[in-house]
Amino acid sequence: MLNPDSVGRTFAGAESVTVSQSEIDAFCAVLSEDNTSVAPPTFSIRITLDQSQEILSNPEIGLDWSRVVHGDQRFDIKRPIVAGDTFKCSSTIESYKVAAGNEIVTVRSDLHSEDQLVASTWSTLVVRA
């Protein structure tokens, strides 16, 4: 079970992540997107999924990733991501409830480049009973 003290707290990723053109190219190739000058709108998941998983695997938080199903996803994009962007990621546990034995957790992850917020993602995760 999630530690209730985690709700409302923000956890910062330890390392910054730099986006390469080849990562954008690979993502675009799956979608047959010819314009690779900016990343597709859902590209940020490549960074936030990894980072939030690492951040929220902290035993003090208590989220069991092995039973997680993705429920909802939302992106708020301030500007498109481009190759060379270096991001710091932070994840905030915005809400938590238990319904029919399943834990439902909404995590917001923010990507900052320098001091500028570039994208926020909200992932609602269902930890199956």
- Distance from C-alpha of 105 to C-alpha of 97, rounded to nearest angstrom: 7
Within 10 angstroms of residue 83's Cβ, the number of other Cβ atoms is: 16
Nearest-angstrom CA–CA distance, 17 and 15: 7
- 30: part of which helix (H) or strand (E)? helix 21-30
> Does residue number 75 form part of the binding site for another protein (CB under 8 A)?
yes
Residue with tokens 């010819």: 34
Q: For residues 6 and 118, which CB has a smaller minimum distance to another protein in the complex?
A: 118
**Among the residue ranges 37-45, 55-63, 85-93, 110-118, the one whose residues contact another protein (CB under 8 A):** 37-45
Q: Is 104 in the site for another protein (CB under 8 A)?
A: no
Least separation in angstroms between residue 83's CB and another protein is: 13
- Per the CB < 8 A criterion, the answer to whether 49 and 57 are in contact is no
- Nearest distance in Å: CB 114, another protein: 20
**Site residues (vs another protein, CB under 8 A):** 23, 26-27, 29-33, 35, 38-42, 45-46, 49-50, 70-77, 80, 122
